[in-house]
Amino acid sequence: MEDNDELKSGHALNMNTRIAEVSSSILSIPKMYDVIVTGAGPAGAFLAGQLARAGLLVLLVEKCKFPRHKICGCCLGAGALFMLATAGADKFLAEFKRRSLDFLVCHVGQKQLTVPIPSARSLSRENFDSSLVLWGCESGVIFLPETNARVASIETNRVVVELIHNGSTPLVVSAKVFVAADGIGGTSLSGLSRFNFETAVHSRIGMGCIINAPNSKHKANSIQMYYHPYGYLGSVLLEDDRLNLAASVDVQFIRRQGTAAAMQEIADYCSADLPDLASAHWRGTAALTRRRKVVWGDRIFVTGDSAGYVEPFTGEGMTSALASAQLVAPLVIQAAVHDWQPALGKEWQRIYNRFVRNNQMTCRVTTAILHRPALTLAAANVLSLCPDLGRTVAGFINRSYCARSR
């Protein structure tokens, strides 16, 4: 078994070339923009593309080299697919063999429960995020990878941003509006105490890896979830037959066991038919369940995981990120075209609280159950008697995001 951080397929090598072709040099970019977006994940790239298509000059800044792997379940739910198709942002996704995901198979010890889920697809984050970036660049986005962005100051008519490319001397640029979409570990707003994160007590951390598993018995049309009293591990087969693994685990469990041993213990607890996990290269995240008190400031909007994050299960995280980008886009456009008004920020806070945070409530409830072994076993027993209940909940989440983002 070999950890496979680099993309190997012909499609992937082609994506590397195409991303290199659309990436800009920090030495040649303009110094003033309508909007600067930091973070080229689903929220940032999707938002940047929408803004560019509205005629704005947009700079999309990403700290990593593209394409890049992210710790994620790599699941696109029905809501996410609907939003991408409606915006025309699925143009490049059609190039990849997205696997259909029809079932969520939950393993609680030796108990197994299969729950049908609405139309979903699996696709590696390397290819998904890169496809959104290509769509944005085709729409006019200026893309600057391997660069850290940090808000340096906020002036009367602009936000001043420092860009540091690969540790070089900072370059100062400006924008009428700044959007932070740089995830739960983002630092673009680190100098502004207003935007400090609140982290849930006993929040778990995320772990993930992608491995080659040519002889895997993983069912291609399913998400497999393995529950353990100290965490859970999900697996899904990607478009190139690699196996994507993502977990949510207690910090103390990882410290006691070590990452690889902890992941293997979860698999063994459920008698999971998975490749040996001990030699895989695991990556971790910051605390998963966290949020910011406010999602706006003078000429600043916060969206996607950078605004707040809860543990997702069947693609809700990606759907939430895309929905938040689609919901904030009209307000960003108005702020850039007609100048900033505090009422725009207040409106975003209201929309975010009403639609995004409310739709995340199901994930919060599920998280609370999964953190308690007795409740998890009870829930598994209920769902085994009423399997349609799981389908109803999953369908409700996706329909809610679709309705809110129309």
Which domains, ranges and CATH numbers included, belong to the chain? 10-199+289-404 (3.50.50.60)
What string of pLDDT tens digits covers the 406 residues of the chain? 333 333 444 455 588 889 999 999 998 999 999 999 999 999 999 999 999 999 999 999 999 999 888 888 788 988 899 999 999 999 998 888 778 898 888 888 888 878 787 778 999 999 999 999 999 999 999 999 999 999 999 999 999 999 999 888 899 999 999 999 998 888 999 989 999 988 777 778 889 999 887 767 788 889 998 989 898 899 999 988 899 999 989 999 999 999 999 999 999 999 998 888 888 889 988 776 778 889 999 999 999 989 987 665 556 788 889 999 999 999 999 999 998 999 999 999 999 988 876 665 555 555 555 556 556 666 666 655 665 655 555 555 444 444 444 4
Residues 6+ apart with CB under 8 A from 227: 106, 107, 108, 109, 266, 270, 370, 376
This prediction has a pTM of: 0.87
SS (H, E, C) 333-382: HHHHHHCCCHHHHHHHHHHHHHHHHHHCHHHHHHHHHHCCHHHHHHHHHH
Distance CA 17, CA 199 (A): 39
Q: Which of 152, 146, 143 is nearest to 189 (CA)?
A: 152
